[in-house]
Amino acid sequence: MSDDTPEFTEKSVDELVDIARSCRREIVKMVKRANAGHPGGSLSVIDLIVGLYGRTLRVSSTEPKHPGRDRLILSKGHASPAMYAALHAFGFLDETDLHSYRMFNGICQGHVDSKWTPGVDFSGGSLGMGLSFGLGVAISGRLTGRDHHSWVILGDGECQEGEIWEAAMAASHHRLENVNVIVDVNGIQNDDFVDQQMVMGDLSAKWAAFGWKVRDMNGHDMTEIAEAIEWSKTTVGPCVILARTTKGKGVSFMENNPSFHGKAPDDEEFKLAMEELA
Amino acid sequence: MTGAASRDGYGAALLDLAEDERVVVLEADLGKSTKSCLFRSEHPQRTFSMGIAEQNMMLVAAGLASTGMIPFASTFAIFTERGFEQVRNGIARPGLVAHICGSHGGIHTGTDGSSAQSIEDLAIYRTLPNMTVMHPCDASSTRALTKALVNHGSASYTRTVRNKTRQIYTDEEAAKLKIGEFSVLTEGSDVAILACGVMVQEALDAAETLAGEGVHATVVDVHTLKPFDHDEMKRISESCGAVVTAEDHSIIGGLGGAVAESLTAHHPVPLERVGVKDTYGMSGQPAELMEHYGLTANDIVDAAKTAIRRRNV
């Protein structure tokens, strides 16, 4: 293994839009095959994940543990179908691997798991932990001189976890530049709308108060995503992007529907979803 | 001879390890108490304050470990427990090698009272796969065993104590200790006393009292509760036929629990557990508290006699 950073090949916005569309199909297929999983939050976050792979992540599908790699830390680890679909699109997983999602002994575990899946660096499933993990990676980068970046994706409901704010404090206290956050603000959590469960108020003001530079954007517009990633890389941080998204984006009956946080479509719904995502 | 506190051994070990540049120290506003402050004063650039925020500290350790660094994170034993689920899901489950030290373990902590006296830490960490659990008895052995962690292949939890205790090992003797292996301090064939932490000195005193009455005890320092030395446990229970455990920890799930599990699986013999009897502590001087909660050499002597009587029934 070499100690530098893997090479990066940038993809165009148009290419990424196409990739995200095919990922959406794979997400719904995975959840349908498993008859379980989290389609809503996977469909809200997929454009962000595809944007990161296509516009900035220096990773290697042939050497997934490359020490100089950037890290994508999916703290909202239940959106694993989105991660697996993207890992397939960018060469880390075969199509057949996707069939193992939630299956016995399958490499695509229910929640993202670094022990099971090549290209997954963080074991999620318990909310609130990913940003702290990203800080650890970032501190290591500072100490070793390795130029890797951590991109941490949080949910807005997840920001109810106290550890998020412990980590937010620590990042600005230690002036960590090589960790970036994107919050998938889809407005819905497990039981209901976020505003019904625990009002988060002004997320932008909250992050700013913890010493972060904040940028709002439409989390489904690939041009805006590409621009925000560039902003995050070139701004003295730490930086957080608040991605305004729609839960279940791309499938009409799942959109903004709390009941599709963690439920598979039935046969008829699946057929309709595939038509809409064709 | 009264030596240092085991937490002093932890601080000394971090300094010993400093030349390994993978070693990173994390603190949660208790570095002066856990003694990681010794490392901070020499290596501030590799010491990171996480503030009073233990959950974050555990996952920062995980992130560091994921890149090949060797993090040592410490706070009071009781406050590591606030991050227990973080240790479980963020460190042990993915198999990351991060080392947690909980100081001020047990009733022996003293006047701070029950909120600071962890009596369940060994039990809860022992339940985690991929987790080594240690509770050394003095500063020398804490120093040696903490140093050994730098080449250890799994995450660990080490409990240290606040107050000075008797020096059990010379540095030369401590250097021979191995993680996961019993340290037999005296050999006798009438009863075995297995102790950890501050109770090792009490066990040695108890053995001396028993010897005066013609009862010869094997005394074992169980500095590592997990992985547990089942082979040595079996040998000792076969040769002694009666066993006492002694710990400044709940009698549920800690050393007493580990020994009970091993004995029932391999060689059942009468077992008496000296420890905190499913209750919380309170303020007081360590000696007063140890007396009150039944954690003295005399309590071990009584337990040994009971175990022997049960064997002979």
CB pairs under 8 A between A and B: 107
Q: Are the beta carbons of B24 and A67 separated by less than 8 Å?
A: no
| Domain that residue B251 falls in | 183-312
Give chain B positions within 8 Å (CB) of A69: none
Q: What is the predicted pLDDT for the residue at A3?
A: 59
Segments of chain A scoring below 70 in pLDDT: 1-3
Are residues B29 and B90 located together in one domain of the fold? yes
CATH number of the domain encompassing residue B10: 3.40.50.970
Which of A126, A127, A139, A144 to probe by mutation at the B interface, max B CB count within 10 Å? A139
Cβ atoms of residues B139 and B8 within 8 Å: yes
Are residues B121 and B259 located together in one domain of the fold? no
Question: ∠ CA(A73), CA(A10), CA(A133), 5° rounding?
Answer: 10
Are residues B216 and B292 located together in one domain of the fold? yes
In a domain, B305, yes or no: yes
Question: ∠ CA(A146), CA(A147), CA(A152), 5° rounding?
Answer: 110
Q: Are the beta carbons of A140 and B63 separated by less than 8 Å?
A: yes
Residue B85 at interface with chain A, using a CB cutoff of 8 Å: yes
Complex prediction ipTM: 0.95
Which of B23, B26, B45, B66 to probe by mutation at the A interface, max A CB count within 10 Å? B66
By CA distance, what is A112's nearest residue in B?
B94
Give chain A positions within 8 Å (CB) of B71: 136
Are residues B16 and B145 located together in one domain of the fold? yes
Q: Give the bridge partners for B102, in sequence order.
A: B75, B159
Which of B29, B52, B56, B100 to probe by mutation at the A interface, max A CB count within 10 Å? B56
Structural domains for chain A: 13-276 (3.40.50.970)
In a domain, B173, yes or no: no
CA distance to partner chain A, nearest, from residue B280 (Å): 28
End-of-domain residue from the set B127, B159, B191: B159
CA–CA dist A277, A150 (Å, integer): 31
By CA distance, what is A179's nearest residue in B?
B63
Are residues B260 and B144 located together in one domain of the fold? no
CATH number of the domain encompassing residue B275: 3.40.50.920
Are residues B155 and B206 located together in one domain of the fold? no
Residue B307 CA to chain centroid, in angstroms? Answer: 24
Pinpoint the alpha helices (H) of chain A. 13-34, 39-55, 80-89, 95-98, 130-144, 162-173, 194-197, 203-209, 222-234, 267-276
Are residues B244 and B130 located together in one domain of the fold? no
Residue A215 CA to chain centroid, in angstroms? Answer: 17
Are residues B216 and B141 located together in one domain of the fold? no
In a domain, B289, yes or no: yes
Of A115, A132, A137, the CB nearest to B67: A137
Q: What is the pLDDT along chain B (313 residues), one digit of tens a residue?
A: 567 999 999 999 999 999 999 999 999 999 999 999 999 999 999 999 999 999 999 999 999 999 999 999 999 999 999 999 999 999 999 999 999 999 999 999 999 999 999 999 999 999 999 999 999 999 999 999 999 999 999 999 999 999 999 999 999 999 999 999 999 999 999 999 999 999 999 999 999 999 999 999 999 999 999 999 999 999 999 999 999 999 999 999 999 999 999 999 999 999 999 999 999 999 999 999 999 999 999 999 999 999 999 998 8
Residue B65 at interface with chain A, using a CB cutoff of 8 Å: yes
Which residues of B are the active-site residues? 54
Residue B93 at interface with chain A, using a CB cutoff of 8 Å: yes
Residue A52 CA to chain centroid, in angstroms? Answer: 9
Q: Shortest CA distance to A217 belongs to which of A230, A198, A200?
A: A230
CA–CA dist A4, A58 (Å, integer): 10
Q: Are the beta carbons of B55 and A166 separated by less than 8 Å?
A: yes
Of A125, A133, A174, the CB nearest to B48: A174
Residue B129 at interface with chain A, using a CB cutoff of 8 Å: no
Are residues B150 and B195 located together in one domain of the fold? no
Q: What is the predicted pLDDT for the residue at B2?
A: 65
Q: Are the beta carbons of B50 and A170 separated by less than 8 Å?
A: yes
Residue B48 at interface with chain A, using a CB cutoff of 8 Å: yes
Residue B63 at interface with chain A, using a CB cutoff of 8 Å: yes
Are residues B89 and B153 located together in one domain of the fold? yes
Are residues B12 and B135 located together in one domain of the fold? yes
By CA distance, what is B95's nearest residue in A?
A115
CA–CA dist B267, A101 (Å, integer): 44
Are residues B279 and B230 located together in one domain of the fold? yes
Place of tokens 């042990």: B92
Q: How many domains does chain B have?
A: 2
Q: What is the predicted pLDDT for the residue at A264?
A: 96
Give chain A positions within 8 Å (CB) of B66: 114, 121-122, 133, 136-137
Residue B25 at interface with chain A, using a CB cutoff of 8 Å: no
Q: Phi and psi of B171, rounded to 5°?
A: -60, -35
Q: Are the beta carbons of A136 and B68 separated by less than 8 Å?
A: no
Q: Phi and psi of A211, rounded to 5°?
A: 95, 15
